[in-house]
Chains A and B, each alone.
Chain A
Amino acid sequence: MTALSSTVARLFGRFVAEVEGAPRAQFTFAPTTAEEAAAILDFASEHRMSVVPWGGGTHQIGAPHEPDVVVSTRALGGVDWRPDDLTVVVGAGVTVADLEAKLGERGQTAVLPENAGAATVGGVVAAGVSGWRRLRFGPTRDRLLEVVVATGDGRVIRAGGQVVKNVSGYDLPRLFTGSLGSLGIITRVCLKLWPQGAAAATVVVADPERALAVAHRPQAVLQTASEVSVYLAGTAAEVEAQAAALDGRATEGLHWPERPRGAVEIVVRVPPAMVTEAVALIASANFVAAHGVGEVIAAGPVSEETVAAWRTWAEAEAGSVVVTRAPAGFAIDPWGAPPPALVLQRRIKAAFDPLGVMVPGRLPGGL
């Protein structure tokens, strides 16, 4: 046993964990509090050990393959739901599916991704992933009221607050949303909730652009290779009237498409008006296109050259093509062109992770 591993055993032995699916690491921990997570990160910073935070493992874009430390959030639990305030405080390790099932008991939702599988709340927030209902409710980051984070250098910080409207200090909750673990580990969040609506329907239509013009603030307008569906929710009278106006084939409830899976998975992001063009471009792949939002998720046996060509087109339209999953040896950067203000991005990362131990290289631009 090396000196380092005996020190780790002495300090963090009770957090050692086995986490299925996580990358092989020198140490794998599952802390139970923000303070414990911070102590682990303080130690990692001191010893310059690279860290990968791990929730459900569903959005592991650009992570180092052999980190020194994996920190699982699964023991960071707890749900403090305040249904009359339409808010919930939830531990990072709670799964999206468990949270949404609970909120659904009183007809509420955090509007996190549907059919989220093993994804955790902390993971979805860290990955900045939104659900299909984003057209109506905005992205996940618009639900973040408060975060508690263990920073890369082992501080526990809290920002935002547990009320629905707050401008006290900088909006760190939004900064941490989509930061992909690069600043620290989100240990707890407070989310704003929405009523689901008493009734819901899915209406299959012919023309997505007509649907966007006819329907008033639908939950989503999604196009797959086989059909275009409009998702409605609200009072029974409203859903019925909107479905009639859409003049399509309506069924009760919200029937979400499966997220496309394949050897290569990509997300095309473009200004909303470009979605139809994006669909024409990638029609050969299995896809779900979110009209009105500007996002097309696609999967299939796509070559590097094809991804590069789509990326060239999207970036010219002020968009991006992100490769979220690819086989080993797929020789293309997951992000494409580095974001503007890269120096600023680097400095912001250093403010929270000064020694650069958190998922080094994961962010665009190699940060």
Chain B
Amino acid sequence: MAVPRLVADLVAALGADAVKAEPLDLWLFSKDAGVTRGEVRAVTFPEDAAGVAAVIRVAKRHGIPVVARGAGTGLAGGAVPADPAVLIVTMRMNRIEVDAANRTAWVGPGVINLDLSRHTAPLGLHFAPDPSSQAACTIGGNVANNSGGPHCLAEGSTVNHVLAVEFVDGDGMIQVVGGPAPDPNGLDVRGVMVGSEGTLGLITRVLVRLSPVPPAVRTMLFAFADVAGAAATVSDVIAAGVVPAALEMMDRPLIRAVENFVHAGLPVDAAAVLLAEVAGHPAGIAAEADLIIATGRRHGAFDVRVAADEAERELLWKARKSAFGAIAQIAPNYYLHDTVVPRTRLVEVLEEIYAIARRYDLLVLNTIHAGDGNLHPKFVYDGSVPDQVRRVKEAAGEIVRLSLAVGGTLSGEHGIGLEKRDLMPLLFGAVDLDAQARLREAFDPDRRFNPGAVLPSGSRCFDFGRAAIGSPSDQVSAQSGADT
């Protein structure tokens, strides 16, 4: 079979060892950790921004979109091409340059999240966002999705830890937005790049803020006889003015699955457990821990376990972060959403989720970033049973509508991608979506970057507002000399 022209041009631009296009490669890279499969024409592995720019120029010549991919741990199809595309895998862009004096680092998008914190640990610093997939997921993916993790309760999501972004635009030009000094002049383009899911440009380097490793940490595991007690503890801790480092909840089906998998000594007779962590100054965390323990007991915690040492703490966190692996023991497939609700509404929302699961005769397992109100209800099912798939999707849809009805949102940290794209009109009106589409058009008028993700088709609506005099492209070409 003749090598397609596109692949030949990519090989000419990057070298044969940086391009894969065998049928098996294309199939393997056509999916992330979610449920949607796309269509890939070539998989590229550039080593730097110049290589990325070369791929983008080839893609432009061929009129084909590009989609960025890190480790493929995304759950929303953000790295899955809706239409045939060239994949740019960032794994070879994995340099770390630390500036210890400023507590920052320039990091390649292919650096694995946990590797960054390990790299900076000797300096007493770490990268605060800690998604459960942190042993595999990349910084580029974290930035693209504005990822969270248990510790973003107190530390904020990825966007709070990104100072500058280098990216390649649709013309193959390398742009840097943001910088090491606070509040760079001009519009906050950096802030918009974070969480843009690869739709505004291709990120090739990120300047991240590193946080001090807290001098003291206390990790506690509470066992509750009912879910409401755990949820009420979360609400009361926040209402009492304590923002712990993390406040995570798991329910009985999940506790049992995880315990069977990790053997962390979790209370399998509990209806729910709460994993709470306080971190900071040794004198400060003692008082916070006391308050959380008292609150938990008041809401019926029948067992409180305080991690005695770092090994026990790590084991408890391993249990929390092994939810996905543990679920595989129960059924071949799972489907989850990532909605967020006001934290004061957790109890009622959880009760309703159980009612939905009962109505559809499904098993639901819950891990919850409870302090943030961020739900991850997982329906387990067998994809080979057609009726199960239908019931799972309908039940998941009900959870989304429930979350939005109490003032919540579609996604807290996983992104919109392809999976939740068509749910966006449940959250935003036509004028709001049009505004987002206009912003996207300002970055990527050719729709080169991940065009299927985030916004449903038809979001750009020319009925709203006014058009500028002269087309946008005229303005740009008139100005492009000033930008170099």
Contact = CB atoms under 8 A, between A and B. Distances in A.
Interface of A: 42, 45-46, 82-87, 106-108, 128, 130, 134, 138-139, 141-142, 151, 153-159, 161-172, 174-175, 177-179, 182-183, 194-196, 216-217, 234-238, 240-242, 269-273, 293-295, 314, 317-320, 322, 335-352, 354-356, 363-365, 367
A168 B235 contact: no
14 contacts: A86-B238, A138-B156, A142-B159, A164-B340, A165-B157, A171-B159, A172-B192, A235-B283, A269-B181, A269-B183, A269-B184, A344-B189, A346-B479, A347-B476
B132 interface: no
B454 interface: yes
B30 interface: no
A225 B169 CA distance: 45
B44 interface: no
Interface stretch (B90-98, B262-270, B367-375): B367-375
A294 B427 contact: no
B181 A179 contact: no
Given A138-B160, A320-B184, 9 more contacts: A85-B342, A142-B160, A163-B372, A165-B413, A171-B159, A171-B192, A271-B104, A318-B179, A354-B465
Nearest to B193: A171
Contacts of A175: 187-189, 191-192, 439
Nearest to A365: B186
Nearest to B416: A168
Residue among B182, B287, B369 with most chain A CB within 10 A: B182
A172 B187 contact: no
B372 A164 contact: yes
A165 B412 contact: yes
A208 B410 CA distance: 44
Contact of B466 (A194, A235, A349, A355): A355
Contacts of A349: 187
A178 B178 CA distance: 13
A294 B413 contact: no
Interface in B448-472: 454-455, 464-469, 472
Nearest to A290: B182
A348 B239 contact: no
Contact of A161 (B187, B408, B455): B408
A314 B180 CA distance: 12
B340 A165 contact: yes
A269 B438 CA distance: 31
Contact of B432 (A159, A163, A354, A356): A159
Contacts of A365: 186
Interface residues of B, number: 101
A194 B152 contact: no
A273 B432 contact: no
A344 B442 contact: yes
Interface string B38-66: 00000000000000000000000000000
A347 B445 CA distance: 10
Contacts of B407: 162-163
Contacts of A153: 465-466
Contacts of B416: 167-169
Contacts of B362: none
A174 B177 CA distance: 14
Residue among B145, B433, B439 with most chain A CB within 10 A: B439
Contacts of B187: 175, 178-179, 182-183, 345, 348-349, 363
Nearest to A176: B188
Contacts of B181: 269-271, 294, 314, 317-320
B343 to A, nearest CB: 6
Contact of A164 (B343, B428, B467): B343
A237 B286 contact: yes
Interface string B275-304: 000001111101110000000000000000
A273 B287 contact: no
A320 B186 CA distance: 11
B460 to A, nearest CB: 11
Nearest to A160: B409
Interface of B: 99, 101-104, 145-146, 148, 152, 156-157, 159-160, 169, 175-177, 179-189, 191-192, 194-196, 212, 214-215, 235, 238-239, 241-243, 280-284, 286-288, 340-344, 369, 372-374, 407-416, 420, 424, 427-429, 431-436, 438-443, 454-455, 464-469, 472, 475-476, 479-480, 482-483
A157 B434 CA distance: 9
Contacts of A269: 181-184
Contacts of B410: 168
Nearest to B145: A167
A347 B475 contact: yes
A174 B156 CA distance: 14
Contacts of A130: 182-183
Q: Which 10 residue pairs of A and B lie closest in terms of their CB atoms, listed nearest first?
A: A174-B191, A238-B284, A195-B241, A339-B186, A273-B101, A354-B468, A347-B442, A241-B283, A351-B438, A319-B181
Contacts of B242: 195
Given A139-B182, A195-B242, A238 B192 contact: no
Given A175-B192, A194-B243, A350-B472, A154 B465 contact: yes
Contacts of B464: 155
Contacts of A84: 235, 238-239, 343-344
Contacts of A177: 188, 191
Contacts of B374: 165
Nearest to B176: A340
A93 B284 CA distance: 37
Given A159-B436, A342-B479, A170 B185 contact: no
A166 to B, nearest CB: 5
Contact of B372 (A165, A182, A318, A337): A165
A341 B340 contact: no
A364 B179 CA distance: 16
A364 B177 CA distance: 14
Contact of A355 (B101, B152, B185, B469): B469
Residue among B429, B442, B480 with most chain A CB within 10 A: B442
Contact of B177 (A163, A216, A340): A340
B414 A167 contact: yes
A110 to B, nearest CB: 14
B468 A171 contact: no
Contact of B102 (A164, A273, A295, A341): A273
A239 B272 CA distance: 35
Nearest to A151: B465
Nearest to B345: A85
Contacts of A242: 281, 283
B102 to A, nearest CB: 5
Contacts of A336: 185
A340 B185 CA distance: 9
Nearest to B200: A170
A322 B185 contact: yes
B425 to A, nearest CB: 11
Nearest to A232: B281
A320 B286 CA distance: 42
A67 to B, nearest CB: 19
B342 A238 contact: no
A161 B435 contact: no
B165 to A, nearest CB: 10
A197 B294 CA distance: 19
Contacts of B214: 216
B432 to A, nearest CB: 5
B408 A234 contact: no
Contacts of A343: 476, 479-480, 482-483
B87 to A, nearest CB: 22
A318 B410 CA distance: 38
A237 B283 contact: yes
